[in-house]
């Protein structure tokens, strides 16, 4: 169905691939985009972990759409907010005429699941499928009048801006939590009984196997502080459909905040498998999730009751210590955890090695004071993450309705109306 002023076109009529090159020396970790630092499930991009080794890379500009062309089912896409360079495995899509096509409208058109389903279905290769560039340009889209394009993009952008604001708040909260941990438990400037910084106010320090520590603090093995929930063994039978029982693997542990990223969960089990298959049980609120294979040493806190852990993840359930303190401590020693790597081809760590790691245990009153502060920070982060899941769901439900014209935006008063 088409509407007055709407027309159906293919991408090639209104957009093209950018193929301009720039010297690799001109890109930085902040503006270099490759398939590795593009985030799955339409989550944008992260910081690059390395710079290109080639002499030149493809240029992109603010307002371009970057699309990962490897394994398109990962749904990696980004609306560029700056200028930079990208690898050859990233497509740069530009619109031909801004008087005919709004950049943000084009981005939201390509953000739809239908588009990624199409690119996946027309891709080439099996082990590492690549999008067919010609087929992508033959993808059909609906093109309303420009003012309606802008109105649609504005509604969706408002949701994305709120999501981004929550992400930025969470990033700052994480920085605050780690800074407080360092101040109290690395610099040992936690408040003494008078409220003054302990070490610089002359607090007594004693020698230990971890160096000088406050008097009365202890050193324990991790094994004495946690029980291990470990489901390694046979791979469970997977559901062909998305269910309420996601498998939390290493991809779900990536990112800067402490909450499991369920958007990165791509495997699911059914209810019966969830209830019967996992020999060690399921994670509970407060468990610390640690990746042991692949991207090792990634850490998240488990909140709620959603999901089961994969073979490359273990859950640490604390005893006789605050899970919030231990989580922050393990984040601080992440490099030491990574040093337990025994893998030659694929990085991996044995939990039997990690369990022997020495942990600094503060006095109970100091631990309790720290936990109370971090608890408030953690629940703020958790609530923001929950809100973002809801906003993403709203956005993704609105997308096809707005782009198909099922929901129209009358230009007279800006009020949404629904076509029956």
Task: Clarify whether residues 247 and 373 are in a common domain.
Answer: no
The last residue of one of the domains, among 361, 384, 402, is 361
Does the pLDDT value for residue 264 go beyond 90?
no
Which residues share a beta bridge with 348?
Answer: 293
CATH code of the domain covering residue 177: 1.10.287.1120
The last residue of one of the domains, among 336, 361, 386, is 361
**203 inside domain:** no
**37 inside domain:** yes
CATH code of the domain covering residue 281: 3.90.220.20
Task: Clarify whether residues 174 and 262 are in a common domain.
Answer: no
Average pLDDT for the chain: 90
Q: Please report the pLDDT score of residue 233 as a whole number.
A: 64
State percent of the chain over pLDDT 90. Answer: 69
pLDDT tens, position by position, 204-218: 999 999 999 999 999
Q: Please report the pLDDT score of residue 282 as a whole number.
A: 85
**213 inside domain:** no
8 Å CB contact between 46 and 34? no
Task: Clarify whether residues 125 and 178 are in a common domain.
Answer: no
In total, the chain counts a number of residues equal to 420
Q: Which domain holds residue 398?
A: 145-198+364-420
* Separation CA 265–CA 270 (nearest Å): 14
**247 inside domain:** yes
Q: Please report the pLDDT score of residue 40 as a whole number.
A: 83
pLDDT tens, position by position, 367-418: 999 999 999 999 999 999 999 989 999 999 999 999 988 888 876 644 444 4
Q: Please report the pLDDT score of residue 419 as a whole number.
A: 43
3-state secondary structure of 15: strand
pLDDT tens, position by position, 83-123: 999 999 999 999 999 999 999 999 999 999 999 999 999 99
Q: Please report the pLDDT score of residue 234 as a whole number.
A: 67
* Nearest partner of 300 among 359, 251, 369, judged by Cα: 251
**79 inside domain:** yes
Q: Which residues does 321 contact at the CB level (< 8 Å), separation at least 6?
A: 225, 359, 361, 367
**306 inside domain:** yes
Task: Clarify whether residues 280 and 223 are in a common domain.
Answer: yes
Q: Which residues does 128 contact at the CB level (< 8 Å), separation at least 6?
A: 70, 71
**411 inside domain:** yes
Q: Please report the pLDDT score of residue 27 as a whole number.
A: 95
Task: Clarify whether residues 323 and 333 are in a common domain.
Answer: yes
* Separation CA 165–CA 157 (nearest Å): 12
**59 inside domain:** yes
Task: Clarify whether residues 58 and 109 are in a common domain.
Answer: yes
Structure confidence at residue 295 as a pLDDT band (50, 70, 90): confident
pLDDT tens, position by position, 169-195: 999 999 999 999 999 999 999 999 999
Q: Please report the pLDDT score of residue 409 as a whole number.
A: 83
pLDDT tens, position by position, 2-33: 677 889 999 999 999 999 999 999 999 999 99
What total of structural domains would you count in the chain?
A: 3
Q: Which residues does 106 contact at the CB level (< 8 Å), separation at least 6?
A: 14, 15, 65, 93, 95, 141
Strand intervals (E) in 147-225:
205-208, 211-214, 218-221
Which residues share a beta bridge with 94?
Answer: 16
Does the pLDDT value for residue 1 go beyond 60?
no
Task: Clarify whether residues 137 and 12 are in a common domain.
Answer: yes
Q: Which residues does 309 contact at the CB level (< 8 Å), separation at least 6?
A: 229, 231, 247, 248, 249, 278, 282, 283, 289, 315
Q: Please report the pLDDT score of residue 420 as a whole number.
A: 36
Task: Clarify whether residues 135 and 169 are in a common domain.
Answer: no
Task: Clarify whether residues 253 and 343 are in a common domain.
Answer: yes
Q: Please report the pLDDT score of residue 412 as a whole number.
A: 60
The last residue of one of the domains, among 111, 143, 175, is 143
Task: Clarify whether residues 292 and 388 are in a common domain.
Answer: no
Range in 38-47, 62-71, 185-194, 201-210 with the lowest mean pLDDT? 38-47
3-state secondary structure of 33: strand
* Separation CA 367–CA 322 (nearest Å): 7
Task: Clarify whether residues 15 and 103 are in a common domain.
Answer: yes
Task: Clarify whether residues 333 and 402 are in a common domain.
Answer: no
pLDDT tens, position by position, 325-381: 999 999 999 999 999 988 878 888 888 899 999 999 999 999 999 999 999 999 999
């Amino acid at each position: 169905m088409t509407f007055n002023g709407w027309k159906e076109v293919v991408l090639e009529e209104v957009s093209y691939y950018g193929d301009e090159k720039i010297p690799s020396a001109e890109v930085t970790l902040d503006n270099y985009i490759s398939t590795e630092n593009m985030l799955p499930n339409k989550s944008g991009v992260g910081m690059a972990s390395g710079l290109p080794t080639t002499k030149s890379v493809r240029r992109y500009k603010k307002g371009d759409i970057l699309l990962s062309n490897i394994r398109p089912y990962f749904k990696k896409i980004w609306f560029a907010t700056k200028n930079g360079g990208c690898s050859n495995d990233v497509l740069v899509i530009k619109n031909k005429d801004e008087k005919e096509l709004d950049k943000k409208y084009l981005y939201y058109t390509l953000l739809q699941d239908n588009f990624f389903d199409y690119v996946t279905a027309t891709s080439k290769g099996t082990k590492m499928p690549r999008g067919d560039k010609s087929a992508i340009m033959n993808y059909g889209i609906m093109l309303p009048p420009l003012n309606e394009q802008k109105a649609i993009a504005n509604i969706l952008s408002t949701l994305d801006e709120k999501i981004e604001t929550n992400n930025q708040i969470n990033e700052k909260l994480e920085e605050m939590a780690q800074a407080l941990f360092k101040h109290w438990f690395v610099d040992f400037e936690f408040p003494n009984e008078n409220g003054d910084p302990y070490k610089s106010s002359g607090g007594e320090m004693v020698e230990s196997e971890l160096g000088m520590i406050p008097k009365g603090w202890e050193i324990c093995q991790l094994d004495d502080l946690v029980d291990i929930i470990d489901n390694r063994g046979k791979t469970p039978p997977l559901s062909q459909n998305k269910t309420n029982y996601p498998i939390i693997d290493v991809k779900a542990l990536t990112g800067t905040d402490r909450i499991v990223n369920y958007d990165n969960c791509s495997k699911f089990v059914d209810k019966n498998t969830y209830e019967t298959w996992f020999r060690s049980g399921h994670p509970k609120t407060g468990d610390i999730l640690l990746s042991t294979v692949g991207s090792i040493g990634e850490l998240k806190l488990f909140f709620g009751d959603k999901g089961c852990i994969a073979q490359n993840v273990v859950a640490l359930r604390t005893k006789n210590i605050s899970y919030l303190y231990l989580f922050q401590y393990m984040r601080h020693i992440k490099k030491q955890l990574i040093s337990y790597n025994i893998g030659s081809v694929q990085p991996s760590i044995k939990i039997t090695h990690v369990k022997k790691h020495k942990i600094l245990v503060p006095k109970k009153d100091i631990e309790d004071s720290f936990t109370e502060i971090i608890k408030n920070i953690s629940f703020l982060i958790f609530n923001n993450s929950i809100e973002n899941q809801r906003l993403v769901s709203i956005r993704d439900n609105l997308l096809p309705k707005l782009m198909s014209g099922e929901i129209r935006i009358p230009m007279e008063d800006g009020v949404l109306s629904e076509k029956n």
